[in-house]
Amino acid sequence: MAQLFPKKIDLMIRGVGLAVAIGAGVTAGGMLLLHHPKKIEPGYQPTQPIAYSHKLHAGNLGMDCMYCHNTVDKSSYAAIPSSQTCMNCHSKVKAQSVVLEPLRKSYEANEPVPWVKIHRLPDYAFFNHSAHVNSGVSCVTCHGRVDQMIEVKQVQPLTMAWCLECHRNPAAHIRPAEFVTKLDWKPERDPAEIGREIIVKKKINPPVNCSGCHR
């Protein structure tokens, strides 16, 4: 009986197989490169329902971070302020501003302002703000110079590897508690040296085991 397929079909099958393999490899590699958290996470800057400027409030006016994010040293969450907190000033300052219309509406209707979340961790990571702030990790370490941002964007990848870098070598990121919210703090000495002293004094020992963050 004559052969159904010519001999060169073997070569063709191998060629197709190789092409598929290369294609899959390139796709996977490309996705890994392009979609790696380090690549896609920093720079996320969604539009917020109110054009609130951190640069104006925290930078120019010099308001302390904790005026609004007041639970940051008490709780795992750094509170997003209630509309009432905003109205403390804005019932007097710029009380008629068009930009602040959604805020006034929220306050009167007792409905929340739907802020868009920027810094997002996976559900299985249990980050605690108070543990970090009370140890002397500044806001700037994870959130960048928010006091210079008109619209906040993410500047750090917030990946596990990135967290662990600091958990393994915390000294350079630890500062005296009173400067935690001072984003432009410039130490007179080597910050790592100051950090090391605080670590000894406060017995800071950041966990690098699983249950430190995953429960």
User: Residues in the site for another protein, rule: CB under 8 A?
Assistant: 31, 35, 40, 44, 46, 71, 73-77, 79-85, 106-107, 109-117, 120, 122-124, 126, 128, 130-131, 134-135, 202, 207, 209-212, 214-215
Closer to another protein by CB, 11 or 31: give it. 31
For the CB of residue 40, give the shortest distance to another protein in the complex, in Å.
Answer: 7
CA-based angle 180:186:191, to the nearest 5?
Answer: 80
- Give the CA distances from residue 81 to residues 69, 95, 128, 140, 151, in Å, rounded to whole numbers and listed in that order: 6, 18, 18, 19, 17
Q: Which amino acid is at 50?
A: I
DSSP classification of residue 50: S
For the CB of residue 60, give the shortest distance to another protein in the complex, in Å.
Answer: 24
Closer to another protein by CB, 12 or 116: give it. 116
Q: What is the largest CA-CA distance in the chain?
A: 97
Residue 174's beta-bridge partner residues?
Answer: 137
Closer to another protein by CB, 17 or 37: give it. 37
For the CB of residue 67, give the shortest distance to another protein in the complex, in Å.
Answer: 13
- For residues 64-77, one letter each, b for 16 or more C-beta atoms within 10 angstroms of the residue's C-beta and e for the rest, the string is ebbebbeebbeeee
Radius of gyration of the chain from its Cα atoms, rounded to whole angstroms: 25
- Give the CA distances from residue 77 to residues 73, 74, 134, 166, 195, in Å, rounded to whole numbers and listed in that order: 9, 8, 13, 20, 24
Nearest partner of 116 among 73, 84, 151, judged by Cα? 151
Closer to another protein by CB, 11 or 126: give it. 126
For the CB of residue 169, give the shortest distance to another protein in the complex, in Å.
Answer: 17
Closer to another protein by CB, 25 or 207: give it. 207
For the CB of residue 190, give the shortest distance to another protein in the complex, in Å.
Answer: 25
For the CB of residue 61, give the shortest distance to another protein in the complex, in Å.
Answer: 21
Closer to another protein by CB, 114 or 187: give it. 114
